[in-house]
Amino acid sequence: MSYKVGYLGPAATFTHLAVTKFFEEHAEHVPFLTIPQCMDAAAEGRIDLAVVPLENALEGSVNLTIDYLVHEQPLSIIGEIVAPIQQHLMVHPSREDSWEDAERVYSHSHAIAQCHKFLHHQLPKAKYEYATSTGAAAKYIQEHPEENIAVVANELAAEEYNLKIVRKNIHDYTHNHTRFAVLHPNQHTYIKTKLKKITDRTTLMITLPSDQSGALHQVLSAFSWRKLNLSKIESRPMKTGLGNYFFIIDIDMKMDEVLIPGAMAELEALGCSVRTLGTYSAYSI
């Protein structure tokens, strides 16, 4: 049976690459211009699954994905794809020999941030402009050859949009990976892939009681004495006023019947509110 997988498009983004490697051939891939548009389509049942970037090893969380998941579209994370990220500098073929004169560098904000050192030294005069994705930036220069722009994107984008790669592997650190989330309205959904599983995870959103001293310490204790291994803890603003935060916590195992529910009950007894954003396996490309 064929199913529809939405992704942050257009064609040849890193998200698209992750989708093509992760899903079996009979999946139909549907591009969306923004992360919220892709997530809305999954929530409304126009597609079966949404794949969006979640976190990059050099740049940290993709805040738009986390905030939209928490505040707007409560989809469940049902899988994770970890992909290596190689950024290249490319231009319209007519500018191959004059790329160092580029006036602007266009790409996704995360992609530009991953290449700051390179851009700072090689294109010191260029202004940065942000696109909805690396693929959208590549498509833009194909359609606007008259503009003197260089783009940061992947090899597939250079092929798809007929651009010339002028510098390869321009990301500042070699260990560059991005986590992509597979989202569905219902947690209990089965997904099949040939990729290798690297770990299991459960992601929780925790809101602390206001003005309670030592609350974060108590939260961490609930995990620590149960020997639940945490691989991430991060705070994000609640958007209800300065000083109000929620925490995103990744636990290195799937939801069980004893330990994680026990920790959650303990946190609720302390006055925290706890929401499960997903319990899933992570696969590597």
Q: What residues line the site for ligand PRE (CB under 6 A)?
A: 8, 13-15, 53, 56, 62, 85, 108, 110-111, 133-135, 178
Nearer Cβ to ligand PRE (14/106):
14
User: Nearest approach, Cβ of 224 to ligand PRE (angstroms)?
Assistant: 31
Buried b (16+ CB within 10 A) or exposed e, 274-283: bebbbbbbbb
Min dist. Cβ of residue 233 to ligand PRE (A): 20
Residue type at 192 in one-letter notation: K
Task: In angstroms, give the least distance from the CB of 14 to ligand PRE.
Answer: 4
Smallest gap from Cβ 160 to ligand PRE, in A, equals 12
Let me know: does 282 contact 179? Beta carbons within 8 Å.
yes
Tokens representing 207 are 């809101």
Strands of 164-167's sheet in order across? 127-130, 104-107, 149-153, 88-91, 164-167
Supply the minimum distance, in Å, between the C-beta of residue 260 and ligand PRE.
Answer: 28
Instruction: Please state, in angstroms and as integers, the Cα–Cα distance from residue 270 to each residue in 110, 210, 226, 236, 267, following that order.
Output: 37, 11, 16, 20, 5
Compare residues 81 and 274 and give the one whose CB is closer to ligand PRE.
81
Question: What six digits make up the tokens of 245?
Answer: 């935060």
